[in-house]
């Protein structure tokens, strides 16, 4: 049976001498680990306002669709888009041949009814005289009286038809219902225009609206004073005040926006129809916790920040709820309290319970 090999005493001594410096180096490395220097900030509340900016255009408060009340071929078109018209101005005409023929026929019908009435009146007068003398029967008298009433009714009906024909002749001319600007034209000379077909669109003079298509999220921010400052895009020096007048109850299926109309108070002359305008509104001032974006990190639950214990200077990771993200900052809705100290720079290499130091200038 072989005996275990024994190391020479000299080799054992050499191994011990080599192990001792290595252990000392490890302990020294642990003791020499530097404390992280971070930049911090005291959590505090500061007033914040949300600025809402919109882009839209100027439109007339009242817009009318003008159309012929009778059908016919268009023979004249007297105005075009952009023209300013006054109430009663002729805008277009259609061929009046059919309406003129109806008018002549109605006039003839009135003349015939008048002749029938004269005959019925004479017959009744004769029967009335004979009845008084006893030379006619009651039946003949009643028939004459009935004939007179029928003739009177026929004349009234003919006169009514004559008035209708006269009106129809005037309908061959399309006139402006109010003073305003023509914004659209849908007819051409030679075209057969149907009754009630839109021929012109008239933006009536008077009140003006600023119209915007906005997303529903805008309504989550109540505006201060309930007004919007309007600025002309082509000339920022031209401004006005707008107040919400009408909000569409439905969302546009194509764009997903809601149409909002603002009444323009004392609109400047430069804010003409179709002018592009921007609207700016500010929300009511509310105290919020605002931190630089560099303070934000994350944990298993989501957004988080490093919070420093004021007694031990140890850091801990705290979950927070971010209300909104801005260009260089974040708005914290929940998770922090005023007076707490958080790391705003230098937190990338931190570990939970690690002791840190911070610049006294930022304390």
Domain boundary among 256, 282, 308: 282
Residue 261 falls within a domain, yes or no?
yes
Residue 147 falls within a domain, yes or no?
yes
- Residues 115, 146: one domain? yes
- Look up the domain containing 235 and give its range: 54-59+207-282
The CATH number that applies at residue 312 is 2.40.420.20
- Residues 254, 278: one domain? yes
Domain boundary among 171, 193, 219: 171
Domain boundary among 220, 254, 282: 282
Q: From the CB of residue 260, how many other CB atoms can be counted at a distance below 10 Å?
A: 23
- Residues 163, 107: one domain? yes
Closest to 41 measured CA to CA, from 304, 317, 307, 324: 307
User: How many whole angstroms separate alpha carbon 259 and alpha carbon 56?
Assistant: 10
* Cβ proximity of 171 and 72 under 8 Å: no
User: How many whole angstroms separate alpha carbon 27 and alpha carbon 31?
Assistant: 6
- Residues 90, 177: one domain? yes
Give this prediction's pTM.
Answer: 0.62
Residues 6+ apart with CB under 8 A from 169: 96, 99, 100, 102, 103
Residue 31 falls within a domain, yes or no?
no
- Side by side, the strands of the sheet bearing 180-185 are 63-67, 198-204, 180-185, 84-85
- Residues 233, 123: one domain? no
- Residues 124, 89: one domain? no
Closest to 131 measured CA to CA, from 122, 123, 141: 141
Residue 23 falls within a domain, yes or no?
no
Backbone φ, ψ for residue 100 (5° rounding): -65, -40
Total structural domains within the chain: 4
pLDDT tens per residue across all 363 residues of the chain: 444 445 455 555 555 555 555 444 444 444 445 678 899 999 999 988 878 888 999 999 999 999 999 999 999 999 999 999 999 999 999 999 999 999 999 999 999 999 999 999 999 999 988 888 888 888 988 999 999 999 999 999 999 999 999 999 999 999 999 999 999 999 999 999 998 899 999 999 989 999 999 988 777 777 777 789 999 999 999 999 999 999 999 998 888 899 999 999 999 989 999 899 999 988 888 889 999 999 999 988 899 999 999 899 999 999 999 988 888 899 999 999 999 999 999 888 899 999 999 876 444
- Residues 252, 157: one domain? no
The CATH number that applies at residue 181 is 2.40.50.100
The CATH number that applies at residue 247 is 2.40.30.170
- Residues 74, 198: one domain? yes
**Structure token pair of residue 213:** 């298509």
- Residues 245, 127: one domain? no
Q: Which helix (H) or strand (E) holds 264?
A: strand 258-265
Q: pLDDT tens for residues 206-249?
A: 899 999 999 887 777 777 777 899 999 999 999 999 999 999 99
């Amino acid at each position: 049976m072989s005996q275990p090999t024994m190391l020479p005493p000299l080799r054992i001594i050499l191994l011990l001498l080599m192990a001792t410096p290595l252990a000392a180096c490890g302990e020294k490395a642990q003791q020499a680990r530097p404390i992280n220097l971070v930049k911090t900030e005291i959590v505090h509340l500061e007033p914040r306002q949300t600025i809402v900016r919109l882009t839209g255009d100027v439109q007339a408060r009242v817009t009318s669709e003008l159309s012929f009340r009778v059908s016919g071929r268009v023979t004249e078109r007297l105005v075009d888009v952009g023209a300013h018209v006054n109430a009663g101005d002729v805008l277009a005409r259609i061929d009046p041949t059919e309406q003129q023929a109806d008018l002549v026929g109605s006039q003839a019908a009135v003349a015939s009814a008048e002749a029938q009435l004269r005959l019925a009146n004479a017959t009744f007068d004769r029967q009335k005289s004979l009845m008084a003398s006893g030379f006619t029967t009651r039946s003949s008298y009643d028939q004459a009286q009935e004939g007179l009433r029928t003739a009177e009714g026929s004349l009234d009906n003919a006169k009514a038809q004559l008035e209708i024909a006269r009106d129809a002749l005037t309908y061959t001319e399309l006139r402006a219902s109010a003073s305003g600007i023509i914004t659209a034209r849908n007819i051409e000379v030679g075209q057969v225009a149907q009754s009630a077909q839109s021929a012109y669109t008239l933006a009536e003079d008077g009140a003006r609206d600023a119209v915007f298509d906005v997303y529903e999220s805008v309504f989550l921010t109540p505006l201060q004073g309930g007004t919007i400052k309007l600025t002309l895009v082509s000339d920022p020096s031209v401004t006005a005040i707008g107040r919400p007048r009408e909000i569409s109850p439905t969302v546009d299926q194509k764009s997903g926006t809601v149409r909002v109309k603002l009444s323009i108070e004392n609109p400047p002359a430069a804010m003409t129809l179709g002018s592009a305008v921007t609207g700016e509104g500010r929300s009511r001032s509310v105290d919020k916790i605002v931190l630089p974006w560099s303070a934000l990190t994350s944990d298993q639950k989501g957004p988080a920040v490093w919070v420093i214990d004021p007694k031990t200077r140890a850091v801990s990771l705290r979950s927070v709820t971010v209300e909104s993200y801005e260009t260089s900052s974040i708005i914290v809705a929940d998770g922090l309290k005023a007076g707490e100290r958080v790391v705003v720079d230098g937190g990338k290499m931190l570990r939970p319970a690690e002791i840190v130091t911070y610049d006294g200038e930022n304390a």
